[in-house]
Amino acid sequence: MQNSTISSKEHRAVGFVLVHAGAGYHSESKAKEYKHVCKRACQKAVDRLRAGAVALEAVTAALIELEDSPFTNAGTGSNLNLSGDIECDASIMDGRSLDFGAVGALSGIKNPVLVARRLLSEAQKGKLSAGRIPPCIAACLSTIPPCGPFPPAEKNPCFLVGIGAQQWALTHGIPPCPSEKMATKFSLSAYKRNKRKMELAEKIETEHHFLKRQRPSSETSCLTAVSEIMEPLSSSLDTVGAIVVDQEGNVAAAVSSGGLAMKHPGRVGQAAHYGCGCWAENAHDAKPYATAVSTSGCGEHLIRTMLARECSTAVQAEDAHQALLEAMQNKFIGSPFLASEDGVLGGVIVLRCCKCGDDQSADNFQALLVEFLWSHTTESMCVGYMSAHDSKAKVRKSPHDTQQTSDQH
């Protein structure tokens, strides 16, 4: 287990972005590509911030860049499922309004974060016409009754999945993209390689059943062989995400993923679940810091611990660095909800900010203090960060590039 954390303080900022290309395993042969896409994502977000955009717009710009990279497991280049199809999850949260939008098991859309973003925007409009009740979670739009009666108090959907999410996206002007165009030579070759491994593992297990009665001691060797074959399938957990604070101190967070390689069709990971994939919450009376979080790792582990929201709550403590380490240990690694797991896989990027100094007016850009951290239990994690005053982004791939350090800008 590796647990690396970086903290930094940024003064006189009119905006700041922190992105990640996933917590899992990042091959050294692709390290340069992961770093480059993190830099580009930071630049896209900062360009929007410099143009006066709010955090929600900037975090969307960063995610689009991450999804468009053929090297990340999100949007283009996503992992293929058992059927050889691409199904993506994504979510986004606005710290100012606390509104949330998400899609799960979405196929045929190049940038899933755009659908999540549009869902969030539509949710902010309030009720649908004629008092209609749209589902908060839908498996298919065709299951929605064509007419009433409809109770009057329901809002627009914030979370759609599968064909229902795809149809909703198309009717709201988001263009389709065939899955075959989203697959890359890397994802296709990985699918073929993983399929062969699964077939081999199934063959070993089948042969084991015949031998088990004759040689009971063969069970351990069989399980070891299958484990060695299947282990690489879970080693690449490169979900992408971003968190942003704008010049007004508003925060936003987003996350996007193609999910686990060879997952069952219809599986929805943490990237689409509320409080699990991302979290953003502006400062208010009960919480002195605005916080934003984006996670990566094994979706089932992150869902059962609601890690994004847990980390957001934790870093309200005075010592954010220590608080995050304790949250990862107590709420994730040592969580009773994961007691039966052999290895707990996950990573987070966290940002918190507050107005400091005597003048804390909204238009005093110099009064904004931003602190950011990341932590992971996986073999590696690639992150990038940049303020609106920086000329270029900084990128780290821990544990190789970083240990516990602190930077002052």
Which residues participate in catalysis according to the annotation?
Answer: 239
How many C-beta neighbours within 10 Å does residue 353 have? Answer: 25
Peptide bond between residue 232 and the one before it cis (omega within 30 degrees of 0): no
DSSP letter for 50, please: H
Beta bridge partners of 103: 90, 160
Work out the burial of residue 317: count CB atoms within 10 Å of its CB; fewer than 13 is exposed, 13-18 middle, 19 or more buried.
middle
User: Which CA distances in Å does 177 have to 90, 173, 186, 306?
Assistant: 16, 13, 18, 31
Q: Strand 6-10 and strand 346-355: pairing?
A: unpaired
User: Residues 6 or more apart from 137 whose CB is under 8 A from it?
Assistant: 157, 159, 160, 161
Measured at the CA of 93, the angle between CA 88 and CA 94, to 5 degrees, comes to 150
Phi, psi (degrees; rounded to nearest 5) at 96: -75, -50
Distance, CA of 373 to CA of 16 (rounded, Å):
13
Q: Which amino acid is at 329?
A: Q
As a whole number of Å, the end-to-end CA separation of the chain is 30
